[in-house]
A = this chain, B = another copy of it.
Amino acid sequence: MRAEIIGVGTEILLGQIANSNAQWISEKLADIGVDVLHHQVVGDNVDRIADAFRLALSRSDAVIVTGGLGPTQDDVTRDGIAAALGVKLERRSEIEDFLRERFAGLGREMPAINLVQADVPEGARYILPERGTAPGLVCETADGRVLYAVAGVPAEMREMMENTILPDLVRRGGGAAIVSRVLRVTGVPESGVAELLDDLFAANTNPTVAYLASAGEVKVRLTAKAPTRGEAEDLIAPLAEEVAERLAPHVFSTGDEELEQVVGRELRARSKTVACAESLTGGGLASRLTRAPGASDYFLGSAVTYTADAKRDVLGVSKETIDGPGVVSEECAREMAAGARELFGAEVAVALTGVAGPDEHGGQPPGQVWLALDADDAREARGFRAPGDREQVRRWAEQAALDLLRRYLQGTLTS
């Protein structure tokens, strides 16, 4: 099956926003084995939109359109579809009812301009949205091709893609099903992950494995293909189990949950409070721990101590450590963690010190990171050399500190 993605919106052509929807959809289609051969972007002009749709339907089996389904005069995707298919728009009373209810739920009357969102090309089906007010459209052509149209707002687009369009494409793909499992790993490099798993995939092309590395994280993606979803699940299940077992202590998520969300959830589940002490990350660790709503349930504070004096005065790092191994050392990280725990009265504290770069500092090279964790029942430290530029070193350091905390909370510190 060949697919094509069309973004509608003058703001993309003006460079005001990126066409990030096309990337997201492309990735999802690759996951289910649908080949994307073209992207197009057109502005809010009904003739050019209709031309783009005609071209796409002449060369692709499935066309996915994002944007132009709002209620304003600029939103002409509906008209473009009608023109390309040579049909009229008809107003659907059941969508009208839905829109009135949606507005009533917000305590507002529906503005008259929203009525156009109840217009559907003759013969097309529609998808009612859980978010927003723009119904999606599913338009089939006489020769068996299909054009889907969804809102350009990413959250609204994703909802319809995940709930309706991706399953529909799998069904249309002649029954071939593709199942993926993602394991998000931290605390072990890409080469280490590959070493742990490579024998499983050496003679295996289905399921396949792919690794995607970023600062402090490796995404492991398993993908199985089979005639039916059930068979694909059966193919992937034993292998996924084996992979999960081998990587167990290093896997922090099997979905969209970020490392700081996992840590927050574990802290809340265990009714523990946390504090930090940071140097090279300059507040980045605390910023990530407080990104989620409700972080005040477990996060008490962080001492961002950028100077040796601040480490001594605020956290009580000893003169011996500062003058001896120095501020970028295991000893300093340990004393910072203990100091932060005491300062904020937290049950567990993590501390970070290091050299973000680009220059060396106190005889230590850029990328050198020391971190430590301090709790009643655990005292741990780790050192490593992070690759990349200043921003990447900071990201690596944050990931490592969050992971130390995760392993402590999940009881896998020594794995």
Q: Write the residues of chain A forming the contact surface with B, with a CB cutoff of 8 angstroms.
A: 7, 12-20, 22-30, 36-43, 48, 52, 55, 212, 276, 278, 281-287, 289-291, 293, 295-296, 299-307, 309-310, 313-314, 343-345, 356-359, 361, 390-391
Contact = CB atoms under 8 A, between A and B. Distances in A.
A38 to B, nearest CB: 6
19 contacts: A15-B22, A16-B27, A17-B23, A18-B18, A19-B39, A37-B48, A38-B42, A38-B48, A40-B40, A282-B291, A286-B304, A293-B356, A293-B358, A296-B307, A301-B303, A301-B306, A303-B303, A303-B314, A310-B344
A282 B295 contact: yes
Contacts of A27: 14-16
A262 B48 CA distance: 44
B19 A23 contact: yes
Q: How many copies, total?
A: 2
Contacts of A303: 301, 303-304, 314
Contact of A282 (B25, B29, B55, B286): B286
Contacts of A36: 13-15
Contact of A283 (B286, B309, B359): B286
A18 B20 contact: yes
Nearest to A7: B39
Most chain B CB inside 10 Å of its own CB: which residue of A13, A19, A20, A23: A13
A180 to B, nearest CB: 13
A4 to B, nearest CB: 10
A39 B12 contact: yes
A69 to B, nearest CB: 19
Nearest to A390: B293
| Cβ-closest 3 pairs across A and B | A283-B283, A282-B290, A15-B27
Contacts of A23: 12, 15, 17-19
Most chain B CB inside 10 Å of its own CB: which residue of A40, A278, A282: A282
A15 B212 CA distance: 12
A306 B299 contact: yes
A303 B305 CA distance: 8
Contacts of A14: 26-27, 30, 36
A349 to B, nearest CB: 13
A13 B40 contact: no
Contacts of A361: 296
A24 B12 CA distance: 10
Given A12-B26, A13-B37, A36-B14, A289 B282 contact: yes
Contacts of A293: 356-359, 390
Contacts of A290: 282-283, 304, 306, 356
A26 B283 CA distance: 35
A222 B300 CA distance: 46
Contacts of A344: 307, 309-310, 313-314
A310 B14 CA distance: 48
Contacts of A282: 283, 286-287, 289-291, 295, 299, 302
A29 B13 CA distance: 9
Contacts of A359: 293
A22 to B, nearest CB: 7
A229 to B, nearest CB: 22
Contacts of A28: 15
A390 B296 CA distance: 13
A289 B296 CA distance: 24
A41 to B, nearest CB: 4
A7 B17 CA distance: 17
A16 to B, nearest CB: 8
B309 A345 contact: yes
